[in-house]
Amino acid sequence: MNFCSLSSGSSGNCYYLGNKSKGILIDAGISATSIRKFLYDRDISLDSIRGILITHNHIDHIRGLELLTRKYSLPVFTTCKIRNSILLPHKKISSAAIREIPLMEKFRLADFDIEAFPVSHDAPETIGFNITASGREITIATDLGYISDTAASYIKKANVLVIESNYDEQMLINGKYPYYLKTRIKSDYGHLGNHQASEFLAEIISDNLTHICLAHLSKNNNTPEIVLETIKKVFAKKKVNLNGRQKITVLNRNVPSEMICLSEQNPPINLVLFQELEKREYH
Ligand SMILES: [Zn+2]
Ligand SMILES: [Zn+2]
């Protein structure tokens, strides 16, 4: 099973998970053209995509959906409430293109066992996904104001975790956003801040969790360097020692991540915090 982020951040989110012949996308918040190109660059054809899982109706998660459903006839999977919240303002998306899935109940799509779970965010409904394939589990939890016990239970099962680290608390407080927007972002229906994410990770990290991808960074209230500094500090303060096989990556807002190959034992990573950061992408 291979996983990568095609784009992650407040401007657009899309993740790929697949094996040699079949794959799925989680969210489609960048253009269909970009998705097709990013996949093509990795020798993955759009024809191998069996469906798109959608977490909620915000535009940074559904931007490419119209073209992907109309031109490429890709089926979309999400809950009834999210389906309705997408169809109402997006009349060009055919209702037949979006299939309803249950909450907190496994369903199978191609080679993947998938379970959606609720998270707290300011959309009509927002969900995360836990996906099992080839005995490995990946959990995707972005766009959540806080981590409920339910969300935590799905996060703790993951071998690969994509978790939001949206904003630096000080940058948000001192930044230019209007008061109401700062309040919304910080609220239980907003986004996870760097400290929230890091402190939670310090509590739940285990040997099972081999990849942590810090995701959905704000363009204006965060930088990858600050995300890494925060997690380093929090882990040091809480005396969390990584076991040498755990990899922590900050997902780039505009550039696809490296492919994580989950069938292979991953090489030891010599501590801490790793990925080459392409600073220019964060200006
Ligand atoms: Zn979002
Ligand atoms: Zn959102």
Written as six digits, the tokens of 178 are: 């209007």
- 14 CA to middle of ligand 2, Å? 13
Name every residue whose Cβ is closer than 8 Å to that of residue 238 and which is 6 or more positions away in sequence: 199, 202, 203
**Alpha carbons 51 and 217: distance in angstroms, whole number:** 25
Q: Take residue 188 and report the two structure tokens written for it.
A: 């239980």
Rounded distance between C-alpha atoms, residue 30 and residue 39, angstroms = 13
Beta strand 107-109 with 98-100: parallel, antiparallel or unpaired?
unpaired
Instruction: Say whether pLDDT at 276 is over 90.
Output: no
Average pLDDT over residues 58-85: 97
Nearest of 218, 243, 209, 214 to residue 229 by alpha carbon: 214
Give the tens place of pLDDT for each residue, 22-55. Answer: 999 999 999 999 999 999 999 999 999 999 999 9
Q: How far is the CA of 56 from the centre of ligand 2 (A)?
A: 7
Ligand positioned closest to the Cα atom of 184: 2
Query: What proportion of the chain, given as a percentage, has pLDDT over 90?
Result: 87
**267 has a pLDDT exceeding 60:** no
Please report the pLDDT score of residue 262 as a whole number. 83
Task: Pick the closest to residue 245 from 274, 279, 278, 214 (CA basis).
Answer: 274
Q: In whole angstroms, give the CA distance from residue 185 to residue 190.
A: 4
pLDDT at 270: 35
What mean pLDDT comes out for the span 148-168?
Answer: 98
- Compute CA distances 43 → 71, 111, 217, 261, 271, whole Å: 20, 19, 27, 14, 31
Ligand closest in space to the Cα of 56: 2
Does pLDDT of 67 surpass 60? yes
- pLDDT tens readout for residues 200-221: 999 999 999 999 999 999 999 9
Closest ligand (CA of 145):
2
**79 pLDDT tier (thresholds 50, 70, 90):** very high
pLDDT of residue 73: 95
pTM score? 0.92
Tell me what the pLDDT averaged over the chain comes to: 92
List, in order of start, the domains of the chain with CATH numbers.
2-282 (3.60.15.10)
Q: How far apart are CA 131 and CA 207, in angstroms?
A: 19
Q: In the predicted model, what is the mean pLDDT of residues 111-119?
A: 97
Whether the pLDDT of residue 144 is over 70: the answer is: yes
Residue 134 predicted with pLDDT over 70: yes
- Range 267-273 average pLDDT: 39
Q: Which residue has the tokens 């940074």?
A: 60
| CA–CA separation, 250 and 244 (whole Å) | 17
Cα of 270 vs centre of ligand 1, distance in Å, is 32
Checking if the pLDDT of 237 tops 70, the result is yes
For residue 45, give the DSSP letter: -
CA 142 to centroid of ligand 1, rounded, Å: 7
Instruction: Report CA(102)–ligand 2 centroid distance (Å).
Output: 20
Q: How far is the CA of 30 from the centre of ligand 2 (A)?
A: 14
- Nearest bound ligand to CA 123? 2
Assigned token pair, 199: 């402190």
Which is more confident, 254 or 86?
86
Instruction: Return d(Cα 104, Cα 220) in angstroms, integer.
Output: 34
- Inter-helix orientation angle 149-156/194-204, to 10°: 60
pLDDT value, residue 282: 34
